[in-house]
Amino acid sequence: MQMWIDFSNTGMPAYYWPKYNRVEKRSLVLSEEIVHGVHRIREDLHGSHCRLLAEARAIVGQVPLNGVECRSRRTGPQAVTASSITSKTSFLLLFISLLLALLK
């Protein structure tokens, strides 16, 4: 609660809260530890997720929608070819569902 009060009064939630910049991308982790005076500063906290989404967007832009098959080593009912993907949206949904399956 004190952070909200300090932020409203000074514009700075806490002296140890790093000012964000696009190079270091440092951020304060708000967790239960902070109540006990322990704070953690992380760099590029969500960078891996952002890079993964950026790669997915790049792949979506490169999917040939003209019927050219992709060179997949997978065969059988789970094989996915570029021609079976009819839109960028469906590819992105497929990508997200695969990510969710991997995270289980």
Beta pairing, strands 26-29 & 40-43: antiparallel
Residue 25, domain member (yes or no): yes
Q: What is the pLDDT of residue 104?
A: 65
Domain count, the chain: 2
Q: What range does the domain containing 28 cover? A: 2-43
For the chain, what is the largest distance between any 2 Cα atoms, rounded to a whole number of angstroms?
A: 63
Q: What is the pLDDT of residue 10?
A: 87
Q: What is the pLDDT of residue 69?
A: 46
Q: What is the pLDDT of residue 67?
A: 47
Two tokens, residue 7 = 């932020």
From first to last of the 104 residues of the chain, give the pLDDT tens digit.
788 888 888 888 888 888 888 888 888 888 888 888 888 888 887 777 777 777 777 777 765 444 444 454 444 444 455 554 556 677 777 778 777 877 76
Tell whether 58 and 99 lie within a shared domain. Answer: yes
Go through 43-81 and write b for each residue having 16 or more CB atoms within 10 A of its CB, e for each that does not.
eeeeeeeeeeeeebeeebeebeeeeeeeeeeeeeeeeee
